[in-house]
Amino acid sequence: MDINECGATYAPGDESDEKNHQSFHKDYMNGIPFKGWQNERAFTSPSLDKNRVVMILENDSPAHRNKVQEVVKMMEVELGEDWILHKHCKVYLFVSSQRISGCLVAEPIKEAFKIIAPLDDTRQLKKERSSPSTTIHFGDIVLQREVSKRCPESDDRLDNRAIVCEEEAKPAVCGVRAICFSPSNRRKRLSYTVARYSEVKEYS
């Protein structure tokens, strides 16, 4: 058995197995095919370009809920099984080029705890503010020193760190239970865009 980057196992050389894997791999990397529905709740805006966000509720038609289950099953490859969805959730599908390339599962909440920025981030900010001048003078000659800064990868910043929250809860109306985008659509700030729709459109 071979394990691909999509997490699926298959038998190389088995024509049927390889064909099924190719289909699964394409859906995992680029999103699940979706031609749309006539009565869908679709949100569009200039910020979404030609894409749209489709919302699905628990009391929607079986066809809509079945599509959600298909998407959730794909999310479980990375996020784990049997916890993502419950009956009070609202699901927001990010649709691009006739594929569901992202999904946000939101739930109503009454309060939340603000995350405290990691100490390393605070120290780095103070260090940057107190950095020495980058100009060097030799008589009438002024040299500009080039400073190279490395931006840490967002996915690595919280590795092996605890997430610390404030002790006092703050009022809140929308909680993001799970969010996931296909690998080809990550690092494009799409998560933020879809999250804003879940908050403003339905929970404000």
Whether the CB-CB separation of 105 and 85 falls below 8 Å is answered with yes
What's the CATH code of the domain at 175? 3.40.630
For the stretch 135-191, pLDDT in tens is: 555 455 555 555 445 444 444 445 556 788 999 999 988 889 999 999 888 888 787
0.75 exceeded by pTM: no
The boundaries of the domain holding residue 105 are 2-110+171-200
The reported pLDDT for the residue numbered 7 is: 64
Domain contains 190: yes
| Closest listed residue to residue 155, CA positions, set 191, 124, 128, 122 | 191
Whether the CB-CB separation of 5 and 13 falls below 8 Å is answered with no
Domain contains 91: yes
| Closest listed residue to residue 68, CA positions, set 38, 106, 97, 30 | 106
Task: Return the DSSP state at 122.
Answer: H
Domain contains 151: no
Mean of pLDDT values over 69-82: 93
Domain count, the chain: 1
Residue 83 has pLDDT above 70, yes or no: yes
For the stretch 54-68, pLDDT in tens is: 999 999 999 999 999
Mean of pLDDT values over 4-19: 68
- Average predicted confidence (pLDDT) for the chain: 78
